[in-house]
Amino acid sequence: MHRTAVLRLLRAHQPGATDPREAAMTAEIIRFVEEHTDCLLRTCVPGHLTGSAWIVDALRRRVLLAHHRKLDKWLQPGGHADGDPDLLAVALREAREETGLTRLKPVSTEVFDVDRHWIPPRGDTPGHWHLDLRFLVEADPEEELIVSDESHDVLWVDLARVAALNPEESMLRMMRKTVSKV
């Protein structure tokens, strides 16, 4: 399995990760990818790579969030790499599937944010880590949305309301980064 592209993205992101927690997670994920040849597959039991899209409007005032059915949280769209080392493509695919948006525009091919978060056990699936590479993506809030079977709802949220829907630090960090890029 080819991990070179993932390592290149992570190593390019590492110097710009000014948040100490994100910097530490980036270093941890680099080590994990170096040590686990199967890191792009769900069958990598300790954890695996995911790609997600932090979808904003052109003015960076709103973000598109999905109320995740299994986790019961408001989150950015994203999902498993399932063997695909192009995590930007993974993030865009998942964003299209989860929101119905078709005119997604990556702001950059570089990683916007990195997060490592625990997924609790569910059925036959043991608890594991999601090692998430997040990309900044623009979309038109006027484009029609769909709600996939993975979500309860999908909606555009003013950045100022993100904390009320999900106060987790990783969400707040992406919110702060979005404001700083305006």
Expressed in angstroms, the distance from the first to the final Cα of the chain is: 38
Provide the 10 A C-beta neighbour count for residue 11: 11
- Reported pTM: 0.95
Domains of the chain: 4-180 (3.90.79.10)
- Tens of pLDDT, residue by residue, the chain (182 residues): 589 999 999 999 999 998 999 999 999 999 999 999 999 999 999 999 999 999 999 999 999 999 998 889 999 999 999 999 999 999 999 999 999 999 999 999 999 999 999 999 989 989 999 999 999 999 999 999 988 888 889 999 999 999 999 999 999 999 999 988 65
CB 133 within 8 A of CB 87: yes
For the chain, state the CA radius of gyration.
Answer: 15
